């Protein structure tokens, strides 16, 4: 079952913040976040495991609510380089499924 991402697209000015959400109807073992720029391969950002831990990566952080099967990606003080499409990938099942199911993506545009 494909996770649902929201919003589908967001446009920011440099320095503004954004939140991207990922929701699944299934119990999740982990959530991955990737960023893909046009014509390029998806690039791994971070992984969150069940247990509700929050992770940070410079000005990009994420949380995982295991009970709600939801993860959120937080981008603060956005930079032009943050533009791209963000995908969450979920590994389903209590013990994991050994593969990721990706959402349809959220297109982020950061303007000067």
Q: Would you tell me which residues interact with other proteins (CB under 8 A)?
A: 2, 29-30, 32, 34, 40-47, 49, 87, 89, 91, 96, 98-105
3-state secondary structure 17-81: CEEEEEECCCCEEEEEEEEECCCCCCEEEEEEECCCCCEEECCEEEEEECCCCEEEEEECCCCHH
Residue identified by tokens 């499924």 is 97
CB-wise, 40 or 112, nearer to other proteins? 40
Least distance from other proteins to the Cβ atom of residue 101, Å: 7
CB-wise, 57 or 59, nearer to other proteins? 57
CB-wise, 68 or 104, nearer to other proteins? 104
Which residues are paired to 101 by β-bridges? 90
What does DSSP assign to residue 95?
S
Least distance from other proteins to the Cβ atom of residue 99, Å: 5
CB-wise, 78 or 106, nearer to other proteins? 106
C-beta separation of 112 from 15 below 8 A:
no
Least distance from other proteins to the Cβ atom of residue 37, Å: 11
């Amino acid at each position: 079952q494909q996770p649902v991402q929201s919003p589908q697209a967001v446009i920011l000015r440099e320095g503004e913040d954004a939140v991207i959400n990922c929701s699944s109807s299934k119990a999740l073992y982990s959530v991955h976040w990737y960023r893909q720029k046009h014509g390029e391969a998806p690039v791994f950002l971070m992984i969150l495991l069940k247990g509700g831990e929050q992770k940070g990566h410079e000005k990009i952080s994420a949380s995982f609510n295991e009970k709600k099967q939801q993860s959120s990606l937080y981008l603060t003080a956005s930079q032009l380089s943050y533009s791209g499409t963000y995908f969450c990938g979920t590994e389903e099942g209590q013990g994991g499924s050994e593969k990721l199911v990706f959402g349809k993506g959220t297109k982020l545009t950061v303007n000067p």
